[in-house]
Amino acid sequence: MAIIRAPKKSKWYVVWIGHAPGIYPSWDKCRSQVEGFPGAKFRAYDTLSEARDAFAAGPPRIGGHKQAEAKEAQSATPSTTDAAPAKSARAKKSTTVAAKKPAKRGPITPSVSVDAACNMTTRVMEYRGVDTETGEELFRLGPFNDSTNNMGEFLAIVHALSLLSKQGKSVPVYSDSTTAITWVRNKLAKTTVAPSKGNKKVFQLIARAEEWLKTNTAPSRVLKWETDKWGENPADFGRK
């Protein structure tokens, strides 16, 4: 989910159910996501922080919603309704039923996204971590020889967990490697790559990462990046 920066004092609009759920910096951008979408669910907030929390928590229950205080929306659909005002009892009933469907959520922010890139011909690997929301690179290591993508993903996840632990932060870490996430949960990188002179440094880092997992309790959750729903991982190297 991309969040576009808005001018100072602008409202932030959370779309839980719509064409593309997410957080939008203007009513016009929000309206394009909810107009014509049955059971749309959205709301305006004064700050980006409030919008983030609301998006992560999911849509409020039907009824008792505070109407969005958006001047731009005065002549359009209020941002806390489930859809455009119904013109018949049948339309209202349809709207209510649609609003009960689970919201399509994007990645949680703030968070860290990690990824690795490995040339399958040369077996040269590198990995990095970025701020999921801004794309700012937080760390980057490599290149390493005689390695695999999963080895890099594993090291990237543990690197992010260690960094967040040192900073006293507890935010999710996203990776699109199911294998690496499993290795982290088991605190063991079950790679089939044989140690060599070329990958000696990588195996040293893996040993340190495994030891860190066994002796530390990471405050952050490791979550799967849903590429099919959210697009490419923000940490992707763009070499596919």
| pLDDT the model gives residue 61 | 59
Tell me how far apart the alpha carbons of residues 134 and 202 are, in angstroms, rounded to a whole number. Answer: 29
Structure tokens of 171? 């935010």
Higher pLDDT, 230 or 151: 151
CA distances from 142 to 137, 145, 152 (A): 14, 9, 9
What mean pLDDT do residues 176-202 have? 95
Would you call 212 exposed, middle or buried from its count of C-beta atoms within 10 A (0-12, 13-18, 19+)?
Answer: middle
Q: Is 54:108 a contact under the CB 8 Å cutoff?
A: no
| pLDDT the model gives residue 22 | 84
| Cut 0.75: pTM above it | no
Structure tokens of 146? 């005689």
Answer yes or no: is pLDDT of 145 > 90: yes
pLDDT tens for 115-127 read 999 998 899 999 9
Residue-wise burial string across 134-143, b where 16 or more C-beta atoms lie within 10 A, e elsewhere: eeeebeebbe
What mean pLDDT do residues 203-228 have? 94
Tell me how far apart the alpha carbons of residues 83 and 66 are, in angstroms, rounded to a whole number. Answer: 15
| pLDDT the model gives residue 59 | 78
Place of tokens 């709301």: 43
pLDDT tens for 85-107 read 444 444 444 333 444 444 457 89
Q: Is 124:144 a contact under the CB 8 Å cutoff?
A: yes
What mean pLDDT do residues 148-154 have? 96
137-144: strand order across its sheet:
137-144, 125-131, 112-118, 173-175, 222-224
pLDDT tens for 11-46 read 888 888 888 888 888 888 888 888 888 778 888 888
Question: Percent helix, strand and coil across the chain, each rounded to 5?
Answer: 35, 20, 50
Tell me how far apart the alpha carbons of residues 94 and 38 are, in angstroms, rounded to a whole number. Answer: 8
Using DSSP, state whether 115 is helix, strand or coil.
strand
Answer yes or no: is pLDDT of 81 > 50: no
Using DSSP, state whether 176 is helix, strand or coil.
coil
Structure tokens of 217? 């309790």
